[in-house]
Amino acid sequence: MTGIAAIFSAGPARARQLDAMMAAMAGRAYDGEGRWVHGCFALGASILHTTAEAMEAGQPHTNEDEALALVLDGYLTNWEELRSDLLARGAVLRNRSDAELVLRAYEQWGEDCADRIEGEFAFVIADRRAGRLYAARDHQGLRPLFYCQRGETLFIASDIPAVFAALDPPPEPNHDYLVGVAAVQLFLPQDTVWREIKRLEQAHWLTCDGNGLVTRRYYTLPFGERLRYRSDAEYAEHYRAMLADALRRTTRSHAPLGIAVSGGLDSSSLYCLADQLEREGRLLAPGFQGYTLAAEPGSRAFELPYARAAADKIGRTLTEVPLFRPSLDWYIQQARGERDLPIPTNGAMTMRIEQRVHADGARVYINGDGGDEWLQGSRVYYREFVRDADWTAFLRALRADAARLGWGNILPKALRIGLSAFAPDRVRTLVRALRRRRVYRDPQSYYWLKPEARALLEQQEAAYDLSLPADPHQWTKQNMFSSPFGAYARARMQRQRGLNGIEPRHPMFSRQFIRFSLATPEHIRNRAGLTKVIHRIALRGILPDMILDRRTKADFESDAIDSEMGRFCREEGRPFLENFCESSGLERLIPPGFVNTVDDDRSWELWGLYAVAAFLSFCSSQDDELGDTRVRIGT
């Protein structure tokens, strides 16, 4: 992944600030660096080439008279269609690069260009003629972009540490955000751990000129589309073709691909379909290799039999790499270097496999992220059956669910879900508000937080809830799509992979994949408790049966690290938690001599508290350079 940085100032842009930002991203510059400073603009790129086309355009990339300059992280999936459209409109394309396509798209459509571009991207354009800076992120936010406006200067970069490096004095910790971390409930989509540093939200563009800074959403989930077939076979045929095309569009690279193979339904299917694409001559890379995590046999993370079955199915070898299980000190040092929260343990575990992918010569690493989000399905199918007056399907689903769960369990749920089709939006909003109020009045909910922290968290959740659709089905999908915790987690993983010299790609987060999921009925994804139904049907014969019939998932939490986190929170980290947390609540969550066990359900709560304590402790340890770390909730 290419790291990008930009400065837009009322006066001349300061090269030394750009230098500081670039130094903070130096670990990404596997293929060199580029800088462009012109008047009030400054752009920089720490470059990682992942396609042959990218090598045809330097970064920053300018038009003929340098009235426009661009830095781009990522790649396009609709490069074929966009190229044809631009040529038909008379655009002159000087090379085949995605950077050239984005630059010409901006020339053609201005601020509306982002909606014409599909893929995984973040880019910034300096427009000297208009006197403005324009930036945009992809629909799912798979490429991060952070910014800070201080006085009359705007700083934008791929990484928090790059923005941080340009700020003097440094920003203060964002304690309102940290309350959500302590509860592992993030509701602030634009916020970060630093008060002044913001996240450009997914599916948004940003402009900054003499009139100030403006952000706009350019993409919304296409809830209105409907795709209906008469049989599972027809759905499966459409799904299989769509998935293969989504994968094909992510395989464009000048080097062999790395493909994650966890042994689960999603990544294994991409691995086996890549073999099919290669045999058909449709793979857009010179080969590929599968990589899997090799956990200890008998552990909750042991998935090698499934991954090996996928490799055997297509007659290929599989590279098995041990999980990365560092000490607690590693997490603290990593967080200090990234000016951020310590990464969760299930994110750090892939460090070695990412380094191995790069060492083997790959620059692109394809994974199955997005499958859990868009293939799981839910019992909303009862509401869909009622809405469509399909009583035969309603009764068929009811009988199948009752056979597994019993009539007493399923009948009230089915009736409640079905009747919700007739509820007015204002009633749905009221019900959610009452449910939320009940949660926060329950002394067992977030019992480790102080009352003022719980009150702030409730306010944050209420505001976030109002930003989502009233319709319960759309609410669930939109929340899954734009989850602030998902935004945080993806940004951390993208930075880690960029520093390891690879670009992750996500076929199951593509627009076409999401469009299929939203346009099709829930019952093709979820039936009688079985998830990913259409995926299992469509991949029959392509995936081995032991994977298709699998209902389990691996657990990559580390009891040893969880226990160390608990000890840290009880000891060194306690002074930094006492303004967020009740002493009695901490004692209950992390009692004396606490040791996490396989059956314990506290891993995420432990990470949240540890992350807050570790972050504030390294803030305070640097001779107060980062400002006062006293908690100021709600300011």
Q: Are residues 244 and 129 in the same domain?
A: no
Q: Are residues 28 and 60 in the same domain?
A: yes
Give me the pLDDT at residue 622, please: 59
Of 155, 185, 217, which closes a domain? 217
Split into its structural domains, the chain has a count of: 3
Structure tokens at 237: 């045929």
DSSP for residue 568: H
In this structure, is residue 554 part of a structural domain?
Answer: no
Of 188, 217, 246, which closes a domain? 217
From the list 306, 315, 340, 310, the residue with the least C-alpha distance to 181 is: 340
Give the CATH number for residue 293.
3.40.50.620
d(CA 43, CA 6): 4
d(CA 150, CA 226): 46
SS3 629: coil
d(CA 487, CA 606): 20
H helical segments located in 7-78: 15-24
Residue with tokens 């830095």: 71
Residue with tokens 């952070």: 146
From the list 175, 153, 174, 152, the residue with the least C-alpha distance to 163 is: 153
Q: Are residues 317 and 212 in the same domain?
A: no
Give me the pLDDT at residue 600, please: 62
DSSP for residue 496: H
Surface-to-core class of residue 16, CB atoms within 10 Å of its CB (0-12 exposed, 13-18 middle, 19+ buried): exposed
From the list 107, 103, 95, 96, the residue with the least C-alpha distance to 121 is: 103
Of 157, 185, 217, which closes a domain? 217
Angle ∠(112,117,121) on CA atoms, nearest 5: 110
From the list 273, 309, 238, the residue with the least C-alpha distance to 549 is: 309
Q: Are residues 185 and 252 in the same domain?
A: no
In this structure, is residue 475 part of a structural domain?
Answer: no
In this structure, is residue 419 part of a structural domain?
Answer: no
C-alpha distances out from residue 332 to 28, 336, 337, 617, Å: 21, 6, 9, 9
SS3 319: strand
Q: Are residues 268 and 326 in the same domain?
A: yes
> Residue 505: CB partners within 8 Å, gap ≥ 6?
75, 120, 250, 364, 365, 366, 367
Give the CATH number for residue 33.
3.60.20.10
Query: pLDDT, tens digit, for every residue of 429-453?
Result: 998 999 999 999 999 999 999 999 9
Q: Are residues 530 and 611 in the same domain?
A: no
Computed over its alpha carbons, how large is the radius of gyration of the chain? 25
Q: Are residues 64 and 167 in the same domain?
A: yes
Q: Are residues 323 and 194 in the same domain?
A: no
Q: Is the peptide bond before 12 cis (omega within 30 degrees of 0)?
A: no
In this structure, is residue 564 part of a structural domain?
Answer: yes
Q: What is the spatial order of strands in the sheet that 204-209 belongs to?
A: 61-62, 68-76, 119-127, 132-137, 204-209, 212-217
Give me the pLDDT at residue 623, please: 44
Q: What is the spatial order of strands in the sheet that 146-150 belongs to?
A: 33-38, 41-46, 3-9, 153-157, 146-150, 198-199
Give me the pLDDT at residue 626, please: 41
In this structure, is residue 490 part of a structural domain?
Answer: no
In this structure, is residue 462 part of a structural domain?
Answer: no
Widest distance between CA atoms in the chain: 73
The upper half-sphere exposure of residue 453, i.e. CA atoms within 13 Å in the direction of its Cβ, equals: 25
Q: Are residues 152 and 43 in the same domain?
A: yes
The upper half-sphere exposure of residue 217, i.e. CA atoms within 13 Å in the direction of its Cβ, equals: 9
Query: Which domain, by its residues, includes 512?
Result: 232-375+506-548
d(CA 69, CA 415): 58
Backbone angles phi, psi at 581, to 5 degrees: -120, 150
Contact 560, 349 (CB under 8 A): no
d(CA 173, CA 123): 27
User: What is the four-CA torsion angle of 321, 323, 324, 327, rounded to 10 degrees?
Assistant: -150
Q: Are residues 348 and 367 in the same domain?
A: yes
In this structure, is residue 450 part of a structural domain?
Answer: no
DSSP for residue 62: E
In this structure, is residue 471 part of a structural domain?
Answer: no
Give the start-end residues of each E strand in 434-536. 503-505
Low-confidence ranges of the chain (pLDDT < 70): 598-600, 622-635
Q: Count of residues for the chain?
A: 635
Q: Are residues 137 and 254 in the same domain?
A: no
Q: Are residues 208 and 238 in the same domain?
A: no
| pTM summary value | 0.94
